[in-house]
Amino acid sequence: MTLYSFVLFIHVVSAMGLFVGLALEGFVSLRIRVAQDTEQLQFLIRALNLLRWIFIPSFGGILLGGLYLASQYGGGTFWIPAALIATLVIMLMGGLITGRKMNQLKKALRKDATFESLSARANDGLVTLSYGLRSGLALGIVFLMTAKPSLWPSVLALVAGCGVGLFIASGMGRVSSQPGMSCGLWRIRSLQNAPTASSH
């Protein structure tokens, strides 16, 4: 195995890890938005916090592998720096927006805030927008990796990815606001614990 093939392997696996992390974040974020009590919020926020163990090594592999590949084979290309910049934007948005909002929510949980105020924080539209844009940019990066376009097509691909991200964000907002979205583990538990009418 050559150094190039090893670095490329790490780079591709890291990209796969990024998408796994985004998929899990989307699922947990939806559950947070429709949580029914403080217990659910605590559980889901802990689960979301654990995703850093996927995101941190994934971003590390993507950036280090991308920088190596760019230094060795990226001369005269435009899609590689565009993809690296988009990756940095994803990292910054995840840390400065989603990470900060989740930290504020965790602090509010420790202060025993009311569930209504916690729910309002959990349903912050900025968090959903951050997730949608990061997902869209990640999709745009995959296009750059496969099509290897020139400068302006690379920019257009990332802009189109942001458009897809906005669509994802609006869809998440609509889904979580629909009635019946509280179903799931806790819904099943509440139905099982509900008193049944005795037959006469």
Question: Is 145 part of a structural domain of the chain?
Answer: yes
pLDDT of residue 85: 92
Count of alpha carbons within 13 angstroms of residue 114, beta-carbon side: 3
Contacts 24+ apart (CB under 8 A), 139-144: 139/164, 139/165, 140/86, 140/164, 141/15, 141/83, 141/86, 141/87, 142/15, 144/79, 144/80, 144/82, 144/83, 144/86
pLDDT of residue 197: 43
Question: Is 199 part of a structural domain of the chain?
Answer: no
Question: Is 169 part of a structural domain of the chain?
Answer: yes
Distance, CA of 91 to CA of 172 (rounded, Å): 21
pLDDT of residue 39: 85
- List the domain range (segments joined by +) for residue 142: 3-190
Task: State the total domains in the chain.
Answer: 1
pLDDT of residue 149: 92
Question: Is 84 part of a structural domain of the chain?
Answer: yes
pLDDT of residue 107: 83
Question: Is 38 part of a structural domain of the chain?
Answer: yes
pLDDT of residue 70: 82
Question: Is 14 part of a structural domain of the chain?
Answer: yes
Tell me how far apart the terminal alpha carbons of the chain are, to the nearest angstrom.
Answer: 76
Question: Is 200 part of a structural domain of the chain?
Answer: no
pLDDT of residue 120: 77
Question: Is 135 part of a structural domain of the chain?
Answer: yes
pLDDT in tens, the chain (200 residues): 788 889 989 999 999 999 999 999 999 988 887 888 888 888 888 898 899 999 999 999 999 988 888 888 777 788 888 998 999 999 999 999 998 988 888 888 777 777 778 777 777 788 899 999 999 999 999 999 899 999 899 999 999 999 999 998 888 877 656 555 554 444 444 444 544 444 44
